[in-house]
Amino acid sequence: MATATKTIYRELKNDPLKYYLAVGLTGLIALIAAAAAYYMETNGHHVTGMNNQIVWGMPHVFAVFLIVAASGALNVASIGSVFGKTAYKPLARLSGLLAIALLAGGLAVLVLDLGRPDRLIVAMTKYNFKSIFAWNIYLYTGFFAIVGVYLWMMLEKRMNRYSSAVGVVAFVWRLALTTGTGSIFGFLVARQSYDAAVFAPLFIAMSFSFGLAIFILVLAIASRADDRPLGDFIVGKLAKLLGVFVAAVLYFVIVQHLTNLYATEHHGVERFILLKVVSSRVSSGSDRLFSAVSYRWSFCFTRRLTRRGHIFMPQPVS
Amino acid sequence: MNIDTENRESTNTARRNFLAGIAGMAGVSIASGVTLFSFAEAKEAGEAVTSKVRWGMLIDTNKCEDGCTKCVSACNKENGIGTTGRAETDPQWIRKVQLRDPKTGNQTSLPMMCQHCAEPPCVDVCPTGASFKRADGIVLVDKHSCIGCRYCMMACPYKARSFVHEALEDQKSHAPRGKGTVESCTLCVHRIDKGGIPACVEACADEAGGAMLFGDLNDPKSEIAKRVAKYASRQIRADLGLNPGVRYQGI
Task: Note the pLDDT tens digit of each residue in A253-274.
Answer: 999 999 999 999 899 889 988 8
Among A184, A308, A311, select the one facing B103 at the smallest CB separation. Answer: A311
Which three-class secondary structure state does DSSP give residue B57? strand
Q: How far is the alpha carbon of B155 from chain A, nearest alpha carbon, in Å?
A: 6
First to last CA, chain B: 68
A126·B99 Cβ contact <8 A: no
Which residue of chain A comes nearest to B83, CA vs CA?
Answer: A288
Question: For residue B109, which of B100, B117, B118 has the smallest C-alpha distance?
Answer: B100
Please indicate if any CB of chain B lies within 8 Å of the CB of A127: yes
Please indicate if any CB of chain B lies within 8 Å of the CB of A285: yes
Residue A239 scores a pLDDT above 80: yes
pLDDT of residue A313: 33
Q: How far is the alpha carbon of A251 from chain B, nearest alpha carbon, in Å?
A: 27
Contact A213, A242 (CB under 8 A): yes
Contact B87, A292 (CB under 8 A): yes
A311·B101 Cβ contact <8 A: yes
A50·B163 Cβ contact <8 A: yes
The hierarchical CATH code for the domain A53-262 is 1.20.1630.10
pLDDT of residue B25: 61
pLDDT of residue B18: 58
Residue-range domain boundaries for chain A: 53-262, 269-307
Confidence grade of residue B49 (pLDDT, cut at 50, 70, 90): confident
Which residue of chain B comes nearest to A298, CA vs CA?
Answer: B99
Please indicate if any CB of chain A lies within 8 Å of the CB of B20: no
**Degrees, nearest 5: CA angle B203-B209-B213:** 65
Residue A74 scores a pLDDT above 70: yes
Among B103, B124, B156, select the one facing A313 at the smallest CB separation. Answer: B103
What is the pLDDT averaged over residues B81-99? 92
Q: Is A27 exposed, middle or buried (0-12, 13-18, 19+ CB in 10 A)?
A: exposed
Task: Note the pLDDT tens digit of each residue in A31-71.
Answer: 999 999 999 999 999 999 999 988 998 899 999 999 999 99
pLDDT of residue B22: 61
CATH C-level class of B40-249: alpha beta
pLDDT of residue A4: 52
pLDDT of residue A227: 87
Question: For residue A56, which of B87, B117, B182, B119 has the smallest C-alpha distance?
Answer: B182
CA distance A114 to A96: 27
pLDDT of residue A228: 87
What is the pLDDT averaged over residues B101-114? 92
Residue B237 scores a pLDDT above 70: yes
Contact A83, A130 (CB under 8 A): no
ipTM over 0.85: no
DSSP string for A210-275: HHHHHHHHHHHHHHHHTT----HHHHHHHHHHHHHHHHHHHHHHHHHHHHHHHSGGGHHHHHHHHT
Confidence grade of residue B24 (pLDDT, cut at 50, 70, 90): low
Q: Which residue has the higher pLDDT, A221 or A295?
A: A221
Task: Note the pLDDT tens digit of each residue in A97-156.
Answer: 999 999 999 999 999 999 999 999 998 899 999 999 999 999 999 999 999 999 999 999
Q: Classify B113 in phi/psi space as left (phi over 0), alpha (psi -120 to 50) or beta.
A: beta
Give contacts of A263 with chain B, Cβ < 8 Å.
none
Please indicate if any CB of chain B lies within 8 Å of the CB of A39: no
Confidence grade of residue A241 (pLDDT, cut at 50, 70, 90): very high
Residue A214: CB atoms within 10 Å: 20
A50·B121 Cβ contact <8 A: no
Strands (E) located in chain B: 55-60, 94-100, 107-113, 131-133, 139-141, 162-163, 182-183, 212-216, 246-249
Tell me, what DSSP letter sits at residue B175?
Answer: S
The string over B21-60, giving b where at least 16 C-beta atoms fall within 10 Å of a residue's C-beta and e elsewhere, is eeeeeeeeeeeeeebbbebbeebeeeeebeeebbbbbbbb
What's the CA dihedral at A222, A227, A231, A232 to 10 degrees? 80
Task: Note the pLDDT tens digit of each residue in A286-311.
Answer: 333 333 333 334 434 444 443 433 33
Task: Note the pLDDT tens digit of each residue in A188-213.
Answer: 988 888 989 999 999 999 999 999 99
Question: For residue B154, which of A184, A169, A8 has the smallest C-alpha distance?
Answer: A184
pLDDT of residue A70: 97
Among B108, B125, B159, select the one facing A131 at the smallest CB separation. Answer: B125
Q: How far is the alpha carbon of B162 from chain A, nearest alpha carbon, in Å?
A: 6
CA distance B41 to B216: 12
- Which residues 56-85 in chain B show a CB within 8 A of chain A? 69, 72, 83-84
Please indicate if any CB of chain B lies within 8 Å of the CB of A137: yes
**Residue-averaged pLDDT of chain B:** 87
Task: Note the pLDDT tens digit of each residue in B175-231.
Answer: 999 999 999 999 999 999 999 999 999 999 999 999 999 999 999 999 999 999 999
CA distance A42 to A65: 25
Give contacts of A53 with chain B, Cβ < 8 Å.
88, 159
Contact B210, B204 (CB under 8 A): yes
Among A115, A123, A137, select the one facing B163 at the smallest CB separation. Answer: A115
- B56, β-bridge pairs: B215
Give contacts of A285 with chain B, Cβ < 8 Å.
87
Residue B76 scores a pLDDT above 70: yes
- Which residues 172-231 in chain A show a CB within 8 A of chain B? 184, 187-191
- Which residues 176-215 in chain B show a CB within 8 A of chain A? 179-182
Give contacts of A122 with chain B, Cβ < 8 Å.
128, 145, 147
pLDDT of residue A237: 92
pLDDT of residue B45: 67
Q: Which residue has the higher pLDDT, A279 or B134?
A: B134
CA distance A300 to A52: 16
Which three-class secondary structure state does DSSP give residue A286? coil
Among A292, A308, A312, select the one facing B88 at the smallest CB separation. Answer: A292
Contact A270, A299 (CB under 8 A): no
Tell me, what DSSP letter sits at residue B98?
Answer: E
